[in-house]
Amino acid sequence: MHFKWKRLGENALFLSPSIILTAALGIYPLLWMLRYMFYDYAGYGDPLFVGLDNFRLLMRDGLFWESVGNTFIYAGGKLLLTLPLSLLLAVILNSKLRGGNLLRGIYFMPTIISTAVISVVFYNIFNSYNGMVNTVLMKLHLISQPIDWLGPKYAMLTVIIVAVWGAVGNYMLLFLAGLQSIPQDLYESAAIDGANAARRFWSITLPMLAPVAQMVIMLAIIASLKGYESIMLITEGGPIGKTEVMYLYLYKLLFPVSTGSPVEQQLGYGSAVGFATAVIVGAITGLYFLLSRKMNKLY
Amino acid sequence: MRKKWSSLVLCLLLIAAIAAGCSGNGNNNGNGAAANGNSEGSTATSSTETGTPVQLKYWTDDRHDQEYIKELINKFNETNEDNIQVELTVMSENYTQSVDIAFSSNQAPDVLRLKSANTAGFVKKGYLAPIDEYLTDDLKAKFGNLLIDDVNRFEGKVYSLANTGLTLRLVYNKDLFAKAGIENPPVSLQEMVDAAKQITEVGKAEGIYGFALNFKNPKQAFDRSIREILSLSGYQGLGFDLKTGQFDFAPYSQVVEYFKQMYNDGSILPGAEALDIDPLRAQFAAGKIGMYLSFSTEPGVYQDQFPTEINWGGALAPTLDGQIKGTSEIVSAGTWLGISAQSANKEAAWKFMQYMYGDEVLKTYHEKGFGIAIVPSIVEQAKDPEIGGMEGFLVGEHDSLWPASPNVTPEGSTYADAFFKYILEGGDVKAITDDLNTRYNAALSKAVEKGEVTVTPNPAFDPAKPQGE
């Protein structure tokens, strides 16, 4: 197919909406951020050029690095639980199960429910004074004292559970799509050759699913590194910063939470932190691609 | 050929659709905010149509008083002789952002509701017009001692006037106190610690605990508790020393020790670390919490939001040693309405403001319980509001406004986060305090250097008379 100069006008017309929207909503804000990370700017008055000061501050900002550490714990925990679970569900639902479609719908439901609703529900399930979990555990005499699920010790575990609950259905569906693209005759001939179910899973399902899995895992990594909404609603990063992940830290710099006494926006420093978080997420994703490049060529 | 034409027409249609979509978005910038508000609130306009009326827009984020304000505006629209029509927009959340968007797109309202948390920012951003030229001698006499630097007066110019303020009190469950054999609300922090312990001992089996605060956001929790304990004990409540003009968190750390004691005793509601103020109120209304500290908004909350059977009351906050050496700070006071610098009808806006600041309006506002009057002449005239529990919150001899303390952003954690961490995990309180002093004072010098903040030490400052009268 060679380029037709005659159709240049038409092509340009068709492309222009997405180019304009990308430029206005994607590239412009990005350039804005790249500029302001060298400024001290609180949202009013003249921005003050400070060179690399924001990055120096970033290097010694213990709270930020703590939030990076928390992000790894949160993302790691979420991935370790979500991926195997969603693959397992996908494999089960891929077999001809009665009511399979209904179950698919049910498992996918959390994906379409608003995070705000999920967070309120889970707060009511886990809060320690009248939450459902403690009530049930105490009724069953498994514990004598209420467990502080949202306290410093368990808050991270709790927000990971919420995140897993919200994500499993989504990745299950993606895995399911991958599974359904595997030709049935492979299984049939393997069965004739005497391969049992475990063997078929190990030697056919997994390798055939690898290219899809590579993408799914990448999406899951990015989503878990960037996730902060439910944490913001359930613990607001607390208690004492135990669930403060980097995107929540960034959000608070750009949109300070305040009532009563004023809190200042830090747009300059926030931009620098935004840049750093993007680099971290980008680096991890890049590293993942490097390590997983073989997944694409497994068969 | 026909094909070519039809594809061209399709192209043009597509562009038109996109353009319409874009321009729609553009408008949303300004009106989106208003629409936001409308969804929550309401619009009040009257239809006296004689000549072309001067149209004023009034934006507020107060929802608790909207019916009354609507009534006032309708009355103003019908009765004013200058043919002014005011349109009320009640915003929901994100008021400040909505105002920002409105000003940046030249669609600002003429009159704005100002609160102490947003006024300084609005002035710095150049949103507000000074009202000095309108202030008559009568008005100066009425509001004179309520004009405070960095609250409603900035660099010598007045931008708003006071109406009401919030007092802060210890809110306590009288039934639980009686059950634990405690006669009176605590006047010292030691008494508070003891009372919390006793209530917990008696009630724990039923899930009742002596004390709670909304520690999900430690700053919000401390700024409604320690702030008041300190100001009544004779210290500025946010860690600033008005005498030296420097931050000194030493008194703050003393109060924190008592909070830590309550935590160690197990007297604080489990799960308070993740508690928001409304779930806390729900638990208090259910009789599960002995006491907490909060604003004079609580009586209204227990009347409408969480109606309760429990017998509760408000009392002055306890002090460090049981002695009252200062005054309980009235917060969110000193501002109510202001005029936009972008308004084309500032005169008319002022006429509306004058009407709203009239004695009758301010008096009724207090009597209906929408806020506690702090304008002296109104306090004298107005009857007590008829809301259960409000009697404990009314402005009395131990309440007053305090000078504003500078707002700075330190590097690292805030005082609230640092002290809350100490409460939960312990540590060296002296080192934490020193570190906070160093970081806050460094941020203060930086802000002074940049000209964002001015600090005038007042060695003669008397916490018993913070306004110097």
What is the DSSP pairing of strand B157-158 with strand B153-154? antiparallel
| DSSP per-residue codes, A165-228 | HHHHHHHHHHHHHHHHTS-HHHHHHHHHTT--HHHHIIIIIHHHHHHHHHHHHHHHHHHHHH--
Indicate whether B274 and B420 sit together in one domain: yes
β-partners of residue B172 are: B291, B313
**SS3 label, residue A87:** helix
pLDDT in tens, B350-364: 999 999 999 999 999
The more confident residue out of B258 and B10 is B258
Q: Which of A44, A128, A258 sits opposite B271 (nearest CB)?
A: A128
Q: How many domains does chain B have?
A: 2
Q: Which of A123-127, A203-207, B403-407, B429-433 has the highest mean pLDDT?
A: B429-433
> Cβ contact (<8 Å) for A260 and B121?
no
Residue B236 amino acid letter: Q
What's the pLDDT band for B370 if we cut at 50, 70, 90?
A: confident
Averaged pLDDT, B144-158: 89
Residue B443 pLDDT exceeds 60? yes
Position B12 confidence tier, pLDDT thresholds 50, 70, 90: low
Chain B positions touching A130 (Cβ under 8 A) are 207, 283
Q: pLDDT higher for B88 or B125?
A: B88
* β-strand pairing of B289-295 with B209-211: parallel
Nearest-neighbour CA in chain B from A165: distance (Å): 20
Q: Which residues pair with B164 in a beta bridge?
A: B373
B339 and B386 assigned to the same domain: yes
- For residue A66, the model assigns a pLDDT of 94
Which residues touch A179 (CB under 8 Å, ≥6 apart)? A90, A91, A94, A205, A209
Distance from CA of B397 to the nearest CA of A (A): 24
Per DSSP, A142 falls in state S
- Examine the domain organization and report whether B178 and B151 are in the same domain: no
B148 lies in the same domain as B99 = yes
Give the DSSP letter of residue B304. I
Strand partners for B111:
B58, B339
Please name the residue that has the structure tokens 């562009």: B15
**What value does the mean pLDDT take over residues B288-317?**
92
pLDDT at A76 over 60: yes
Q: What's residue B118's pLDDT? A: 85
Helix, strand, coil content of chain B in percent (nearest 5): 45, 15, 40
List of chain B residues whose C-beta atoms are within 8 Å of the C-beta of residue A235: 216, 274
- Answer whether residue A1 is part of any domain: no
Phi-psi region of A20 (alpha: psi -120 to 50; beta: other; left: phi over 0): alpha
Higher pLDDT, B469 or A158: A158
Average pLDDT rounded to a whole number, residues B179-193: 96
**Is the pLDDT higher at A2 or at B6?**
A2
Q: Taking all residues of chain A, what is their mean pLDDT, rounded to a whole number?
A: 89
Would the pLDDT of B47 be above 50? no
Residue A12 lies in a domain: no
Cβ-defined contact of A17 to B15 (cutoff 8 Å): yes
- Tell me, yes or no, whether B140 and B56 share the same domain: yes
Give percent of chain A above pLDDT 90. Answer: 60
User: CA–CA separation, B294 vs B419, rounded Å?
Assistant: 19
Residue (of B193, B219, B213) closest to B418 by Cα position: B219
Model confidence over A7-52: pLDDT tens digits? 888 889 999 999 999 999 999 999 999 999 999 888 777 888 999 9
Q: Residue type for A67, please?
A: S
Q: Does the pLDDT at position B308 exceed 70?
A: yes
ipTM: 0.84
| Confidence category of residue B23, pLDDT binned at 50, 70, 90 | very low
- In this prediction, residues A224-253 reach a mean pLDDT of 91
Instruction: Assess whether pLDDT exceeds 80 at residue A261.
Output: no
Clarify whether residues B306 and B374 are in a common domain: no
pLDDT tier at B9, thresholds 50, 70, 90: low
Q: How far is B245 from chain A (nearest CA, A)?
A: 19
What average pLDDT score do residues B405-425 get? 91
Query: Between the CA of residue B93 and those of A43, B96, B140, B211, what are the distances in Å?
Result: 19, 9, 34, 29
The answer to whether position B50 is within a domain reads yes
Contact A260 B223 (CB under 8 A): yes
B144 near B158, Cβ under 8 Å? no
Q: Is A47 part of any domain?
A: no
Give residue for tokens 């303390």.
B405
Of the listed ranges A240-254, A282-296, B323-337, B455-469, the least confidently predicted one is B455-469
Q: CA B107, CA B337: separation in Å to the nearest integer?
A: 18
Spatial CA neighbour of A83 closest among A196, A187, A215: A215
**Looking at residues A236-250, what average pLDDT do you find?**
91
Tokens 């750390």 correspond to B253
In terms of residue numbers, what domain contains A219? 55-297
The answer, as to whether pTM is greater than 0.80, is yes
Span of A110-114, B237-241, B415-419 with lowest mean pLDDT: A110-114
Number of folded domains that form chain A: 1
Q: Which of B8, B217, B421 sits opposite A236 (nearest CB)?
A: B217
Nearest CA in chain B to A64: B412
What kind and span of H or E run contains B273? none
Q: What pLDDT does residue B21 have?
A: 40
* Same domain flag for B286 and B182: yes
Strand, helix or coil at B205?
A: helix
Question: Are the C-beta atoms of residues B332 and B115 closer than 8 Å to each other?
Answer: yes
Q: pLDDT tens-digit profile of B74-108?
A: 999 999 999 999 999 998 767 888 898 899 889 99
- Window 101-130 of A: residues touching B by CB (8 A cutoff) are 123, 127-130
User: Is A253 domain-assigned?
Assistant: yes
Does residue A125 lie in a domain region?
yes
- Binning chain A into helix, strand and coil, the percentages to the nearest 5 are 70, 0, 25
* Lowest mean pLDDT across A240-249, B206-215, B423-432, B446-455: B446-455
Contact B368, B136 (CB under 8 A): no
pLDDT tier at B303, thresholds 50, 70, 90: confident
The pLDDT of residue B344 = 94
Q: Which of B164, B91, B160 is nearest to B120 (CA)?
A: B160
- Tokens for A148, please give them: 């502080």
Q: Do the chains contact at A127 and B279, CB–CB below 8 Å?
A: yes
Residue B7 lies in a domain: no
Whether the CB of A259 is below 8 Å from some CB of chain B: the reply is: yes
If asked whether residues B230 and B265 sit together in one domain, one would say: yes
CA distance B174 to A273: 49
In a domain, B266, yes or no: yes
Burial of B292 (0-12, 13-18, 19+ CB in 10 A): buried
- Residue A265, pLDDT > 80, answer no
pLDDT of residue B29: 35
Instruction: Specify if A254 maps to a domain.
Output: yes
Indicate whether B186 and B253 sit together in one domain.
yes
Average pLDDT over residues A117-127: 92
* Residue for token pair 């180019």: A19
Q: Is A263 on the interface with B (CB under 8 A)?
A: yes
Mean pLDDT of the B135-158 span: 90
Q: Token digits for B440? A: 């806050």
pLDDT higher than 50, residue A149: yes
Regarding whether B265 and B123 lie in a shared domain, the answer is no
To the nearest whole Å, the CA of A122 is away from the closest chain B CA by 12
Question: In angstroms, what CA-CA distances link B255 with A258, B233, B250, B260?
Answer: 23, 10, 9, 9
Q: Where residue A227 sits, what CATH number does that domain have? A: 1.10.3720.10
Q: What is the CATH number of the domain that holds B313?
A: 3.40.190.10
Q: Do A146 and B270 touch (CB under 8 A)?
A: yes
B367/B414 same-domain check: no
Euclidean distance between CA atoms B435 and B427, whole angstroms: 13
Question: What pLDDT shows up at residue B30?
Answer: 35
User: What is the pLDDT, as a whole number, of residue B175?
Assistant: 96
Give CA separation, A202 vs A119, A175, A191, B387, in Å: 37, 15, 13, 71
- Of the two residues B451 and A72, the one the predictor is more confident about is A72
Please check the confidence at residue B32 and state whether its pLDDT lies above 70: no
Residues in chain A: 299
Pairing relationship of beta strands B399-400 and B328-329 according to DSSP bridges: parallel
pLDDT band at B319 (very low <50, low <70, confident <90, very high): very high
Q: Distance from B227 to chain A by nearest Cα, in Å?
A: 11
The 3-state secondary structure of B387-403, one letter per residue? CCCHHHHCCCCCEECCC
By C-alpha distance, the chain A residue nearest B422 is: A240
Give residue for tokens 């009355």.
B75
**Residue that is written with structure tokens 């037709």 in the block:** A4
| Last residue within a domain, chosen from B393, B412, B432 | B393
pLDDT at B236 over 60: yes
- Within-domain flag for A8: no
**pLDDT tens-digit series, residues B189-205:** 999 999 999 999 999 98
pLDDT confidence band for B36 (50 / 70 / 90): very low
Is A109 among the domain residues? yes
Integer-rounded Cα Rg, in Å, for chain A is 24
- The pair of three-digit structure tokens given for residue B254, joined into one six-digit string: 């003393």
Whole domain around residue B152: which residue ranges? 40-165+332-393
Per-residue pLDDT at B28: 35
Are B409 and B425 found together in one domain? Answer: yes
